[in-house]
């Protein structure tokens, strides 16, 4: 006797069959293993960091103390930034005079500029070390795809989503990479250009650094970085959110909480001095005063 499928059987089996076909299609589409995709993407991101393309943009940082909005431009002497608002309110005349004085003092002091460049270089080295550790620090698992947007990846592009968890065999070479040993979350990768569109990570355990002598970060800490193609062929960070607590040197409390958005990107001249960058920001500020951009909504986690 032939047992024909019942309506209930079809109702259950059909979605499962479609899901299996979709998963098989995604596995076939992902031509390389997840870790190889991450490795290729990290190599490309590192190479892109050496690009000579310069940009200017708006930076709004929200913290428990309020918000600060800056106009920023990359120069050959480092990043130039000019504060234009506190808590979304333009500077008073007194605040503007103080900001102009700060920028003039920095532009006219070779010693201060060199210290600023050295700090930016150290920050870049730390970020590069974290990036290079990504392929080995985690175990990756395919987790479907998402559509890109103007702020995350490339608008309309298909982004590969990879879940990650700590690799138990990973030994961090320094305390810089130590934070990765307790992190899990997911990555979004634009596979065609091999660019990271998003990293979302949460600490699933307390992580010590410097053998616990220098301090620790508490379980539950969270970070999020989004990146997008803001100008054709040019990718920049569009959002960075940090939320960490812990201790430094065993005694000093650590509490980092901020949400930073970057928008209104435009190309900048390639060989600006810091002083020239400041003058360009002043012109940019005057343009925005006549045609103010709409404030970007702060996304929830």
Q: What is the pLDDT of residue 114?
A: 92
Q: What is the pLDDT of residue 211?
A: 53
Mean pLDDT by 10 residues, the chain (301 residues): 38 37 43 91 86 90 96 94 96 95 93 92 89 96 95 94 96 89 96 95 88 76 95 93 86 88 94 95 88 55 43
Q: What is the pLDDT of residue 132?
A: 94
Strands (E), the chain: 54-63, 66-75, 78-86, 89-90, 138-147, 158-166, 183-190, 195-203, 207-209, 215-217, 222-231, 234-248, 252-268
Query: What is the model's pTM?
Result: 0.81
Q: What is the pLDDT of residue 293?
A: 64
């Amino acid at each position: 006797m032939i047992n024909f499928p019942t309506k209930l059987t079809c109702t259950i089996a059909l979605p499962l069959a479609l899901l299996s076909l979709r998963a098989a299609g995604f596995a076939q589409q992902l031509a390389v293993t997840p870790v190889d995709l991450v490795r290729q993407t990290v190599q490309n991101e590192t190479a892109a960091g050496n690009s000579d393309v310069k940009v200017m943009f708006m930076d709004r940082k929200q913290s428990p103390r309020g918000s600060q909005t800056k106009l920023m431009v990359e120069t050959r002497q480092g990043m130039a930034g000019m504060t234009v608002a506190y808590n979304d309110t333009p500077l008073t005349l007194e605040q503007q005079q103080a900001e102009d004085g700060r920028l003039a003092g920095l532009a006219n002091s070779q010693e201060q500029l060199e210290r600023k460049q050295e700090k930016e270089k150290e920050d870049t080295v730390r970020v590069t070390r974290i990036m290079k550790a990504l392929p080995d620090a985690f175990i990756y698992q395919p987790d479907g795809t998402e559509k890109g947007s103007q702020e995350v990846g490339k608008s309309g592009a298909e982004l590969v989503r990879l879940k990650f968890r700590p690799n138990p065999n990973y030994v961090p070479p320094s305390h810089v990479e130590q934070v990765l040993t307790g992190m899990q979350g997911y990555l979004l990768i634009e596979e065609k250009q091999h660019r990271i569109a998003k990293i979302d990570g949460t600490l699933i355990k307390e992580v010590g650094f410097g053998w616990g002598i220098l301090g620790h970060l508490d379980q539950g800490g969270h970070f999020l970085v989004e990146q997008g193609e803001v100008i054709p062929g040019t990718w920049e960070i569009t959002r960075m959110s940090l939320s960490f607590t812990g201790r430094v040197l065993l005694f000093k409390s650590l509490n980092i909480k901020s949400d930073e958005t970057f928008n209104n990107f435009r190309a900048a001249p390639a060989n600006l001095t810091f002083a020239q960058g400041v003058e360009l920001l002043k012109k940019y500020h005057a343009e925005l005063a006549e045609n103010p951009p709409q404030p970007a909504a702060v996304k929830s986690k």
